[in-house]
Every structure is written in C-alpha cells, then in structure tokens.
Amino acid sequence: MKKNITIFGSARFEDDNIYCKKAYELGKILAKNGYSIVTGGGPGIMMAANKGAYEIGGVESIGINIKLPFEQVPNKFCTKTYIYDDLSLRKKALMESEIIVIFPGGYGTLDEFFEVLTLTQTNLKKYKIILFDEKFYSSLVDFFKNVLLEHKAISSDSLDIFKIANTIDEILEFIKE
C-alpha cells in the first residue's frame, strides 16, 4: 500500500512565511520516512511541501491542481500532476490519503478541513486529521467548543476527530499513533 499524506494550506503565503518553511521541513521529513506528499499542486504551502519531498526524492511529490478563472499553474516540484476541471473531483482525489495535515489557510483550506471532518464524523471515511498551529486555529476550535457543542450541533466526541500540533515533531507523533 502506498503511503501518502495530503497537506492542505494557503496558496497565498510567500516562501519566507513561517508556515511555508514548516511545510517544506515536513515534506522533507515525511519523504525521508517513505511518505509521498499530495497537495493541491499550487503555490504557497503546497509548493513548500512538494519542494521538501522533491528535494529528498524516492517518493512522489503529487499535485492535484484545478483550472481556475485566474491562472494557477502546477508548481515545479511535483513529480506527478493531475489537473481537474471540476472542484469536487479534485477534492475527492486530494482526500485519498488516510492522513491529512491542515496548515493555516483561507476558505479553500477550511473547505477541505470541513470536508474531511464531515467524512470522518459520518464514518464515510477514516482520516487522521492534524491541524497545524494551535494559535492560528484557536478561534475556530473555540467556536466548535463554545457554540457548536454548547448548542448540541455536534457531540463531544466530534472534538476528538482531529489533533492540533504546534511543532513538526508533534505532527510526526500523531502520524505514528
């Protein structure tokens, strides 16, 4: 069985952004441990993670891209690129991995996060979901706890569907669990 890990995160971050640096570091470490990296294949977090895996070699650095009204080209660090016209098919392809790491990002990243949460909560799929950077995601997690849970829109075990990591080492620990 192939060992793939999907990494989601913002396309808008520049190379010198701390989250891009961490995604690059994670991509390298995961590649050294035999994991192929799957991303949306674009810039920012995606390119950083693909670059880390690409530089190590020996594993795939996969980009699952989408044709958008504005130009988004696959990053040059993908060893395989798939381009979709349909966002839902792209999302399905991105979610073939059993391990999902969610770096900070915007609406697209949150959409992907909510999709894997929903699939796991409904037992349609089983993912290890890891949010990276507690500070970035704290308001969202507080919303889950203080609004969704309080109003019984989710159950308390729904909060156990994902883990929060603040370091690359914590991500690696969660992956090994």
Q: Write the pLDDT tens digit of every residue in 32-79.
A: 999 999 999 999 999 999 999 999 999 999 999 988 777 678 899 999
* CATH number of domain containing 99: 3.40.50.450
- Predicted TM-score (pTM) of this structure: 0.95
Contact between 160 and 121 (Cβ < 8 Å): no
Average per-residue pLDDT for the chain: 95
Residue 105 neighbours by CB under 8 Å, 6+ apart = 8, 9, 10, 11, 45
**What is the rounded distance in angstroms from the CA atom of residue 36 to the CA atom of residue 3?**
6
The total number of structural domains in the chain stands at: 1
Task: Name the residue range of residue 119's domain.
Answer: 4-176
Residue 91 has pLDDT above 80, yes or no: yes
Residue 165 has pLDDT above 50, yes or no: yes
Residue 83 to residues 24, 72, 99, 118, 155, Cα–Cα distance (Å)? 22, 10, 22, 25, 37
Structure tokens at 143: 């919303």
**80-84 and 128-132 beta bridge pairing:** unpaired
Question: Closest Cα to residue 106, out of 172, 150, 40, 158?
Answer: 40
Q: Please give the pLDDT value at position 1.
A: 44
Region 85-108 average pLDDT: 95
